[in-house]
Structure 1
Amino acid sequence: MLKKILYTTLFAFTLTSCSDTLDDINKNPNATETPLAPYLLTGTLKQGADLYWGSTNNFDSSLLFVQHWAKIQYTEPDRYDVSNTSFTTLWNTGYATLITDLNTIINFPQEQANSNYKGIALTLRSWTFLLLTDAYGSIPYKEAGLKVTPAYNTQKEVYTGLLEDLKQAQSLLNTANGAVTGDLSYQGDILKWKKLVNSLRLRIALRISDKEPALAKQAAIEATSDAAGVFSSNNDTFKFTYTSSPQQNPASAWFETRDDYRISKTMVDKLNELSDPRLPVYAQLPSDASVGKYVGGANGLSNSDANSQGFAKTSKPGTYFLTSSSPAVIVSYSEVLFNLSEAVARGYISGDAEQLYKNAIAASFNQFGITNATVITNYLNQASVKYDATNYAKSIGTQKWIAFYGQGLDAFAEWRRLDYPVLTAGPATVLDGKLPSRFFYPGTEQSLNGNSYQAAIAIQGKDLLTTKLWFDVK
């Protein structure tokens, strides 16, 4: 009897020990039990910059679509020969990482995150949703993070919702509301975050301008009349500055082991046409010294034709973009000035559209280290650069396309909206002479959120690269 009791006791102890061991095994030793707002903020800034400037969403897709870069080998994405597995990173990281972590900050009690953390998180979440809807169209927005199979909202609903979210973010941000640490972009400067909020509101106002002009005008007025203002110098630019490996610029990391991209011939030709001093910043001279000039790679070529251009005879993107510490610019002062110029041209706000246009170009030059006033003036005085009030979309669209070099996702959005410069699909592309107008939804949406996916495309249109989004009217 005693032996039976001992066995029973030993068995119970074994079960308890096993359970405790399993509990310990299932704990991540590298994870914090209570996430901290500063760490979440640092992480989302770094991961957001990587997402925006990394290969999948930038130089392997949108930079090719707008012909900033071209592929010299493995040309499938430059020929638009892609599938619904090609654009999953923006969606998956945007929702599962960025929006999830930002929602965590937003939902923290006050003792874990003051209202400035929440205002910053709401601003960054709005920027993430903006990237998603600009690329895909209708997306899960109102139910994102709340349901396993969230409904999609139309692009109009997303844009109008983001304008309200950014109003709320502005109300949360106040220098008296506590300090912020973990901010690797603005170092806790709340006044700069408030300027960013208004600059994003102005960006969205122009996104909706061709479909909802009355709301766009209202949003532009509210953004520019808010006491915090919009960006007022290059010091306000929203960017993430990298350091050294492994915390290095994604393009720098890529070119350490790969050599399959060149600056696009379309960009080189335009910069040569305008005698643009940004060319030596945007491109490197070919490694074959006998070439002696900048040579872009043509877009949309077959692999053999792309290879035949010569690796040593074509120009890589400039070293400005390929060093470890190259910044990931996300919202530039130059963009804000172009947006102000267009808002004036559309009659939304008062001002001098031509002077704002000139200031935008000068800000872009300064951003890339070109500060000589005579050089800038001579450039602005060219007939091909002067502001055309009768076709502001052409003037602003062309120069904004140049200034956005490297910022593929936003260059892609603005090129679709303004329709300048006129781009031509390469000879081996697979969309019957058309250029892409959006990203495919990830294939997992069909299998995991099929009803919502089907309802979305029934309204928006087929899940094709050529389906135009709501904001893209031409």
Structure 2
Amino acid sequence: MKLKNIFILGLLSVLTLVSCDKGFNELNIDPTKTTEAYPEQFMTHALMQTVSANMNRNRGFNNELMQVTVSLGDGEYKVFRYDFRRSWSDYLWSSHFLNMSNYKDMYAKASNELTLNPSYQGISLILQTWTYSILTDTYGDIPYSQSTLGRDSLLFEPKFDAQKDIYADMFAKLDTANNLLKANTGINATVDPVFAGDVAKWRKFGNSLYLRLLLRVAHKAEMKEYAVGKIKEILETNSSNYPVISNNEESAILRWTGEGVFISPFMSTRVQDFRATAIAEYFIDFLRDTNDPRLNIPEYGTSGVNRWGIAPVSGNFVGVPSGYAAGSEDYSKMSYFYSADQNNGVNSIQQEPLTGMIMNFAEVEFIKAEAMLKGYITGDPSVPFYSGAENSIKLWVPTWADDIKEHLAASDVAWDPAASFDKKMEKIHQQKYFALFLVDLQQWFEYRRTGHPILPKGEGLKNNGEMPARMQYPVYVQSSNPTSYREAVARQGSDEINTKMWWQKP
């Protein structure tokens, strides 16, 4: 009897524990919270990482190719001599595809019934297009329609889409984004390090990006009708439906304030390494010879203190000729960008908030100038040309108040209505080159598209003196995705730096 009672008591205890366990699980679910992720949770970190990767490739790759800087040395693999290792390709590819997953997750969450928000959907499409455009303009054909599907679809060997098809879909994404952002459903300002929650500015950036990409392919026979027609629609016939960046305050810039997590990635470079890179002769000669306010700011009092933090040499600004032959001369005592530890009243782009440049107003103005020059839209190209030149300066020196026409005329770089088409293109892109300072790889992309500005060629250039047309695909892609890699190479051409991608070909 005693044993039976013990058994019954034990059974009741087990049942009680099971019952308590069920209630305990329910009690430990907070009814005021959700386990569903919100779209804004994917935005800030991915944006910072994408901008950081762009900045690092801008400084070490774009600036060397495009004669902004010269990384001194006589050894092999100097980018300024058009000579670089295949391993240069890995960083941008890996970083951008990784962050693409976050942008796509952001769109998926913004499309979820519980967290529906058209503004986040539109912003996600803009960020996807911006990042994909840098990837395809760097490498050519890339994984696009099947990219970033490994986690959810176990697709680890995505096909490479043709660049022509990528551009067509990017245009569709930007059109969709423009429509989604019309509703302006609002976003969390604290997670937006670019526009602080201003959805209208995101819409303007998306349409300005649209113009950048349309202009890049408007010369292609199979794309010309659409691209030219869309440029005209955005800027002329339906401009109210396609607002674009219209002043410096609307420029897309992730500002590195130095507060919290917003510390410039340039600050991770040792100060002695940051200032070891010399300024290229082409870059600094133009600024010096045109008395550019970004190099000489009168109200600061001395030529040694300037907005871009460039150090003088014996009171003068002296650059290194890019592509100089190895062993030809010692250029170690030339101008360079000040490092942060030299600040003491001197600006340094190592800690400059504006280095997180995505797209600025001046670029939009130069796009208009070229579109007018080519007859895509009506108007006098000198008007946006001067506006672009002026606002390129004022973005950095807001207090500058000189007349831009007189300023450029004094240095013989003013607009000449009687000049040839090619010389007018050179005028536009010479100024656009400085407006694109620090803007990822856009100087390189524009040079490959137009051949402007005309850059001097040093005697030490490798690659037969030919500007590289692309980066090779990362080496690991050949082994991780061999079938798609071979298909891409068969369609596009050999995986070498001189193989021209679709929009570069006649």
Q: 1:143 to 1:188 in 2, by over 3 A?
A: same
Q: 1:176 to 1:66 in 2, by over 3 A?
A: closer
The structural deviation recorded for 1:121 is 0.7
Contact 1:37–1:117 at 8 Å: present in 2 too? Answer: yes
Out of 249, 252, 276, the residue aligned to residue 260 of structure 1 is 276
Separation in 1 of the partners of 2:395 and 2:352?
18
The structural deviation recorded for 1:45 is 1.6
Out of 450, 463, 474, the residue aligned to residue 442 of structure 1 is 474
Superposed, which structure 2 residues align to 1:342-357 within 5 Å? 342-357=370-385
Out of 288, 291, 295, the residue aligned to residue 279 of structure 1 is 295
Match status 1:237 vs 2:268: no
Separation in 2 of the partners of 1:374 and 1:196?
28
Contact 1:417–1:473 at 8 Å: present in 2 too? Answer: no
The structural deviation recorded for 1:343 is 1.4
Superposed, which structure 2 residues align to 1:24-173 within 5 Å? 35-54=37-56, 57-73=57-73, 76-96=78-98, 98-108=99-109, 109-146=112-149, 147-173=155-181
Separation in 2 of the partners of 1:223 and 1:255?
45
* Higher mean C-alpha deviation, range 440-449 or range 318-327: 318-327
How many residue pairs were aligned? 435
Give the gaps of 5 or more residues in structure 1. Answer: 1-31
* Higher mean C-alpha deviation, range 401-410 or range 275-284: 275-284
Alignment identity in percent? 26
- What TM-score results when the alignment is normalised by the length of structure 2? 0.80
Q: 1:472 to 1:274 in 2, by over 3 A?
A: farther
Separation in 2 of the partners of 1:66 and 1:397?
13
- Pick 1 or 2: higher relative contact order, CA cutoff 8 A, min separation 6: 1
Separation in 1 of the partners of 2:113 and 2:382?
46
Match status 1:197 vs 2:206: yes
Question: 1:334 corresponds to which letter in structure 2?
Answer: A
Q: 1:412 to 1:170 in 2, by over 3 A?
A: same
Q: 1:389 to 1:427 in 2, by over 3 A?
A: closer
Q: 1:327 to 1:165 in 2, by over 3 A?
A: same
Q: 1:176 to 1:314 in 2, by over 3 A?
A: closer
Tell me the alpha carbon deviations over residues 230-289 of structure 1, each in whole angstroms, 9 at most, x when there is no partner: 111001100101122763222343252513312211111222343333334345233x5x
Q: 1:326 to 1:255 in 2, by over 3 A?
A: farther
Aligned to 1:470: 502
Superposed, which structure 2 residues align to 1:373-412 within 5 Å? 373-374=401-402, 376-382=404-410, 383-387=412-416, 388=419, 390-391=421-422, 392-412=424-444
Tell me the alpha carbon deviations over residues 368-394 of structure 1, each in whole angstroms, 9 at most, x when there is no partner: 115433353322334433244633321
Question: 2:280 corresponds to which letter in structure 1?
Answer: S
Aligned to 2:194: 185
Separation in 2 of the partners of 1:43 and 1:113?
21
- What TM-score results when the alignment is normalised by the length of structure 1? 0.85
Separation in 1 of the partners of 2:70 and 2:91?
21
Aligned to 1:24: none
Match status 1:214 vs 2:225: yes
Separation in 1 of the partners of 2:166 and 2:127?
15
Displacement over 6 Å in runs of 4+: none
What SS does the corresponding residue of 1:242 show, helix, strand or coil? coil
Separation in 2 of the partners of 1:176 and 1:411?
33
What SS does the corresponding residue of 2:229 show, helix, strand or coil? helix
Separation in 1 of the partners of 2:328 and 2:35?
55
Tell me the alpha carbon deviations over residues 55-113 of structure 1, each in whole angstroms, 9 at most, x when there is no partner: xx2111111111111112476232233222112111111112x2100111111213235
The structural deviation recorded for 1:473 is 4.2
* Higher mean C-alpha deviation, range 72-81 or range 142-151: 72-81
Tell me the alpha carbon deviations over residues 398-449 of structure 1, each in whole angstroms, 9 at most, x when there is no partner: 1111221222401111111121122244333321221212111111111111
Contact 1:344–1:350 at 8 Å: present in 2 too? Answer: yes
Q: Which protein shows a greater Rg?
A: 2
